[in-house]
A and B are shown apart, each in its own frame.
Chain A
Amino acid sequence: MSIDWQIQNAGEQSVIVYADCSDLDKANAAISQLHRQLVDSTLPITSMVPSYQSLLVSYDSDVMPYLDLRARIKALLPAEALEDKGGRRLTVPVCYGAGDVCDLDAVAKSTGIAVDEVIALHSETEYRVYAIGFAPGFAYMGSLDTRLQLPRMSTPRTAVPAGSLAIAESQTAIYPQASPGGWHILGQCAAPVFTLQPSHQTIWKVGDRVRFEPVAQSELAHVGISIDE
């Protein structure tokens, strides 16, 4: 399956690279690959934002103007989709049904699937981190089993607790901090997914593969996230 690359202008000192492919996972893997290549490059890049099938690249035009930068990026683009071996595998412990705010029963009712089956369908799928945004550390992961797909709530909650595991449409996510939100909450994750101090980092990167492991509430505080590089 080939990837159709496009380099579009985005602004005064930004271009956006699109990887068009009928297979979104392939496109996303190609974007992660290009992101890594550009991180290692000597191009005068000031920031990058990988997301789904695009990579926004901001640069210092004083060092390298638009036409040169565009040509240099173009020379890096692979003609064929690379084998998707990049990215890490994360296993995130969650307690389905836990938390003060939880829609597990309501999700079972709306989808017509038993609670145990909802948990099984959600935890047996391996998800890909397509994008990180909305809030620091908020990872958009997909794709959810079609039987679990529900539209966002018509009235978003004003406060969703930190660590809430949630689903909406074809995606799943964990709220890194307490925030307003319109996704359906399935349970809780105890491990922090975004920390400010001291290292300012989030556990996931775009392109990572994530699995959720059901654990009992009593175990939640004792089981950490495991990362397979």
Chain B
Amino acid sequence: MSSQSVSVMKVSQPGPYATLQDRGRVGGEPMGVGSSGALDTHSYAWANRLCSNSTNSACIEITAGMFEAQVLRETVVALTGAHATFCIDGNPHATWQSHRVKKGQVISVAPPDAGFRNYLAISGGFTGPEILGSVSTNRRERLGGHKGDGSVISAGDVLQGVALNNTPKTLLRAPEQVIPSFPDKIILRLVKGYQFDSFPSSSIRTLLFNDYAVSNKSDRMGIRLSGSAVTPPTSPLFSEGICFGAVQVPADGQPIIMLSDRQTIGGYHKLGSILRSDANALAQAKPGDSVSFDIIDVLDAQAHLQLEKYRFDHTMPLSVN
């Protein structure tokens, strides 16, 4: 984005892991640069929509709440994602809704009651040095983010945003049916792929008939699961491209669902990949939450995706005032 940037927010408390994210970078994979980008794309897209932003505007992805920042110029903000108490100057305000904030006001996000990640959008979007068309932060690759070097947001950081002459006049809220319910138990629909057919049939049975717990070692690179071991094939494998949502199984048999900050290539055996919409739910799972797997045909998965896209395109935000 070539628009001019101004200081829009000063962060006093970032919480455990807050980063700038957009839809991610494109075209970097052949040189080893991953896509990064928002983990829960549904909540991310709604945060921008409620601020009347373009679909690729950068938001702050807040992990496990405990976020506080001061607004440096009048603007409109919206918080989506996890169910968390969202305050402006200490007064609770609705999430999944846009609010006008004045210079000097303090916004805060408490640890979520349900869900794990929040998306804070600001009118016009946050800005940072663009790399391959994206400001998404990837700490491991040391690129992107508000500083451009993969830094996560720290206390005291002043964030830049697009300079706007006027902010949206209408405040918006999301219709009830698009707000996720954040169940403690998630079903991940798996599209069979990669080495699925090389896994012993007993491993597939183990995967499909057991529940797995989300491990606290999970991060933006991958959600690690713990449970009954899914024995992978022993045949050697050349490192190969890992797509979003791929379910890789290292020798210990504990599956890892590869997400936005994954490496571009890897040599572990993979069972296929989960649906993007289920990855959104998984990104909202807390350590200890339960997940199970189900198989879905790729054609059904693509029909489902088309339906989701249709729903998103045809569900309009509602006016608040």
Q: Which residues of A contact B (CB under 8 A)?
A: 8-14, 16, 35, 46-56, 58, 61-62, 65-67, 130-138, 140, 177, 194, 196, 200-202, 205-206
A138 to B302, CA, bound (A): 34
B31 touches which one: A52, A62, A177, A202 (CB < 8 A)? A202
Assess whether A54 is in contact with B28, with CB atoms less than 8 Å apart.
Answer: no
Residues of B close to A205: CB separation below 8 A: 30-31
A-facing mask of B129-145, CB < 8 A → 1, else 0? 00110000000111100
B238 touches which one: A51, A136, A196, A200 (CB < 8 A)? A51
A47 to B34, CA, bound (A): 10
B141 touches which one: A8, A35, A135, A140 (CB < 8 A)? A135
| Interface assignment of B194: CB less than 8 Å from any CB of chain A | yes
Residues of B close to A202: CB separation below 8 A: 31-32
Assess whether A47 is in contact with B302, with CB atoms less than 8 Å apart.
Answer: no
Would you list which residues of chain B between 178 and 217 have a CB under 8 Å from chain A?
Answer: 191-194
12 contacts between A and B (CB under 8 A): A8-B193, A11-B243, A11-B244, A11-B274, A12-B273, A12-B274, A14-B244, A16-B240, A49-B29, A49-B241, A61-B302, A177-B142
- Top 4 closest pairs, chain A to chain B, by CB: A56-B241, A49-B241, A11-B273, A133-B265
**CB-CB under 8 A for A52 and B240, given A14-B273, A47-B27:** yes
Residues of B close to A140: CB separation below 8 A: 239
Q: Which residues of B contact A (CB under 8 A)?
A: 26-33, 35, 131-132, 140-143, 148, 191-194, 238-246, 263-266, 270, 272-276, 298-299, 301-302, 305-306, 309
Q: How distant is B308 from chain A, measured CB to nearest CB, in Å?
A: 11
Assess whether B31 is in contact with A54, with CB atoms less than 8 Å apart.
Answer: no
Residues of A close to B32: CB separation below 8 A: 132-138, 194, 202
Residues of A close to B301: CB separation below 8 A: 12
B276 touches which one: A12, A134, A200 (CB < 8 A)? A12
A140 to B302, CA, bound (A): 34
A51 to B30, CA, bound (A): 9
Assess whether A8 is in contact with B194, with CB atoms less than 8 Å apart.
Answer: yes
Assess whether B264 is in contact with A133, with CB atoms less than 8 Å apart.
Answer: yes
**CB-CB under 8 A for A10 and B305, given A48-B30, A53-B238:** no
Residues of B close to A196: CB separation below 8 A: 131, 143, 148
A8 to B193, CA, bound (A): 6
A194 to B28, CA, bound (A): 12
A61 to B141, CA, bound (A): 29
Q: How distant is B188 from chain A, measured CB to nearest CB, in Å?
A: 12
A134 to B221, CA, bound (A): 13
Nearest-CB residue, chain B, relative to A176: B32
A150 to B299, CA, bound (A): 46
A12 to B270, CA, bound (A): 14
Assess whether A52 is in contact with B239, with CB atoms less than 8 Å apart.
Answer: yes
Most buried by B among A35, A47, A140, A194: A47
B272 touches which one: A10, A130, A134 (CB < 8 A)? A10
Residues of B close to A9: CB separation below 8 A: 191-193, 272, 298
B263 touches which one: A35, A65, A134 (CB < 8 A)? A134
Residues of B close to A8: CB separation below 8 A: 193-194
Q: How distant is B199 from chain A, measured CB to nearest CB, in Å?
A: 14
Assess whether A136 is in contact with B143, with CB atoms less than 8 Å apart.
Answer: yes
A52 to B274, CA, bound (A): 25
Residues of A close to B194: CB separation below 8 A: 8, 10, 16
Residues of A close to B298: CB separation below 8 A: 9, 12, 66
**CB-CB under 8 A for A206 and B243, given A11-B191, A51-B265, A131-B265:** no
Assess whether A65 is in contact with B275, with CB atoms less than 8 Å apart.
Answer: no
Residues of B close to A46: CB separation below 8 A: 26
Residues of A close to B306: CB separation below 8 A: 61-62
Assess whether A65 is in contact with B31, with CB atoms less than 8 Å apart.
Answer: no
A136 to B32, CA, bound (A): 4
Assess whether A200 is in contact with B28, with CB atoms less than 8 Å apart.
Answer: yes
Assess whether A13 is in contact with B263, with CB atoms less than 8 Å apart.
Answer: no
Residues of B close to A67: CB separation below 8 A: 299
Nearest-CB residue, chain B, relative to A204: B31
Residues of A close to B240: CB separation below 8 A: 16, 49, 51-52, 54, 56
Most buried by A among B35, B239, B301: B239
Residues of B close to A54: CB separation below 8 A: 238, 240-241
Residues of A close to B263: CB separation below 8 A: 133-134
Assess whether B31 is in contact with A194, with CB atoms less than 8 Å apart.
Answer: yes
Residues of B close to A56: CB separation below 8 A: 240-243
Q: How distant is B202 from chain A, measured CB to nearest CB, in Å?
A: 22
Q: How distant is A128 from chain B, measured CB to nearest CB, in Å?
A: 13
Residues of A close to B26: CB separation below 8 A: 46-47
Assess whether B28 is in contact with A66, with CB atoms less than 8 Å apart.
Answer: no
Nearest-CB residue, chain A, relative to B192: A9
Residues of A close to B192: CB separation below 8 A: 9
**CB-CB under 8 A for A47 and B35, given A14-B273, A67-B299:** yes
